[in-house]
Structures are given as C-alpha cells and as structure tokens.
Amino acid sequence: MLRPVDTLSPADLLADLRPRLRDPAGLLVVQDLDGVCMDLVLDPLTRRLEPSYVQAARQLDGRFSVLTNGEHEGRRGVNRLVERALGEAHDPSRHGLYLPGLAAGGVQLQNRHGQVATPGVNATELAFLETLPARMADELRAWLPGLLPRLDGDDLERQINLAVLDNPLSPTVNLNGLFQLSAAGERPVALARELQQGLLELMQKLLEEAESQGLEGSFFLHIAPNVLDSEGREQPVWASERGIGTTDVQFMLRGAIKEAGLLVLINRHIARHHGVHPLGEAFNVRSAPRRHADLLALAAERIPPSLMPQLVGVGDTITSTPGPTPGSWRRGGSDRGFLTLLQELGRCFERPNRVVLVDSSGGEVSRPSMADGNLSGLTDPDDPLRLDVLFPGGPDQYRAFFGELAGSLQR
C-alpha cells in the first residue's frame, strides 16, 4: 500500500468546507482543468465542459480560481469550451461565466467576464511564439516518415494536425495520436521512446532558435508528465511496459510555473477581499522568484497571517517512479509543485489547507490509476506531498462534488 497517509473522503471535505463558504475572504479553491473537471482526450478540440460545472464555478465567485497549463483564449482555449457548453442562451462575457484565474502556466490572467491580460510578456516574445506552430508542423513533416514509414499523404497531415496544438502562449506537440500508431507496431515501447526522444530534440532546436534571435532566457520546455532531477529540472518519463510516460512538450514563457501562479492568485484574492496587495499590485509570475524555497519565503515575509485564506488545491498530474537505487524515487508531474507549495503554506500559516487529487486515468490518455487503491505511479511511502482527499471516480465524481459545494451557498 503506497498511500502515505489516511485520507478524508470527498463527503468529509464537503462538510469541512461548507461553513467556510460564508466568508469568501477566508477560502480559495485553486483548480487545474484537464483531467480534473473534464476527461483527458487524444484531441483537445474534442474536450467538453458540462454546463452545470460552468454555472457552479460562477456561484463560487470570489472563492475559486483556475490554474492551468492550458490557455483561456485561442481556438483550443477553455473559453471556447465554456461558450459551447452554454450555447446561445447565455453570453458568458455579459453574465460573468468564463472561468477566472491563470492559464498558460500562469502568464495569462482572466476574470470571469473574459478580460485577458499577459502581465510581464513583451511583443517580441509574442511574435516568436506566433511562428512556432507552423515550424513544429514542418519539423514533424520532415521527421515522422522516417520513423513511421506507412504514415504519408493525408494520414501524415491528419496526425500533424492532431499533434501540433497552436496555443498562442504555449505552442505544444502532443504525441498521443502517434502513440496509438506505434502501439500497433512490432516494438511499441521502443518506438514510443523514439517518438519521445525525437520530440525533445525538435523542441530543443526551437529553443536554441529563440536564443539565437536574442530571446535567451525568455522560454523553457515543459514536459508532461515529468519527473524532476536532483536540481529540480524536468525530465521525461520514458515509455515502458508500465505506461506510456511523457505525452506532451510545451514551449512556454519563462516564469510560467504553477507555484508562482499560486502566489499570484493568493495576492489577488487578498486584494479583492481586503483591498491590499501584500506582494505588490504588479506582482506576476514573470517577476516572481523561480525557486520553490524563495516563493515560500516571500509569502511568509510579506503576507500577514490574518489575511491568508484556507487553500484547497485540486490537480490530477503527479508522478512517482522508482529511482536508480533501492528505496529512491523520481517524482514530478505538472501539479506537484503548486500542490506542494500549497501544503507548505498551510503549515507556515497554520491553515488547514487541503491537497486534492483526481484520478484522470479514465479518459483517452494513459495515466496511472487509483483503481487498486495502491496509488502506484502517483506517490510513494516517502513522498513529502501528502494527499488529503482522493477522487478515484475521476472528473465525474469531482464535478458532482463541485456542484454540491456551490449549491451549499444557496442553502
């Protein structure tokens, strides 16, 4: 049994949070999106948000923010999902039904009326990002036929369209469709690893091109899922018989890490309810410290304990796999950093913060599952990240909980 501590049930969490809803200044739910409130899918354009979830998020206004590596705007943005979910009956801008919070890892800020800002991002960086989806597609056209020789013509273009995600602030290559093709071959694991290695080399090449154009230090590569090395750098999870491992590499703006985003959201939450920005009115992820310890120290130094809300962090992507030596572990995942900081802030400020994990293995993308109660691939007995509440029923179970939580405000 790998679960490191006894966990609360979702019903226990609901009972704990209901009375706290009466004071919106004292509670902030910070939630990832993909795999949490909607299933993971091979083609992000087929994602769906439930209208009831969108309405529940509106009811929790002032107590709820999103924190995602996806984006609000663009044709693949979550705002398009909100609009499709509501149909023509509601204007989300007028009725304040867009999901508020941070996207693109923290560089894209949005309020519930869909007003978007990118504090700290300059025009030269945006112009370079705009060129990347076409560059990614060209690189895949040159590279993939040698690895998957049966893939040509219309099939090649179809796979490229699935793989290249033209997010304005975080252009991404997603391997899920190509993994399905490799799984039908004679050496699926070896071929999947070659796809992963080739993708990392492709993205590193684009990163070096940015540096050659005077944008050194502007961008980094976010690998998902990942494991962290001894210096906290993201490394791929290589495909194996245990699972497919890394599926995406995102080209992201430097500073776009969820840990920094968490402090931005706390700073804005306090300003909304108390009228002061303890970290400064212009504080954003690009001006924030980059080291985890420095973020924690900044919060401890600048945020008055009386103003710190209770935090509930909700994610789905954490990993833990056996390390190279007996008893060692390689841990990572795009939600691990912000969930760990949230946990540490609870200890520092003596708040009952809650770390919530949703099982996203039931979608179309291969992920470690909670089904056997073992949490293998997610955590380990020595994991410093303690999971307070589990949703083994995945996004369906979490959406039901979220709806009940929002409904409590009407009672």
Q: Which residues are catalytic?
A: 396
Q: Give CA–CA dist 28/266, Å, rounded.
A: 8
Q: Give CA–CA dist 263/311, Å, rounded.
A: 11
The enclosing H or E element of 322 equals strand 319-322
Beta bridge partners of 66: 31, 101
Closest CA to 334 of 320, 345, 321, 318: 318
- Determine phi and psi for 168, rounding to 5 degrees: -60, -35
The 3-state secondary structure of 325-371, one letter per residue: CCCCEEEECCCHHHHHHHHHHHHHHCCCCEEEEECCCCCCCCCCCCC
Tokens 């840990």 sit at which residue?
Answer: 259
Closest CA to 44 of 15, 68, 23, 10: 68
Q: Give CA–CA dist 211/217, Å, rounded.
A: 7
Cβ–Cβ < 8 Å for 3, 384: no
Q: Give CA–CA dist 292/298, Å, rounded.
A: 10
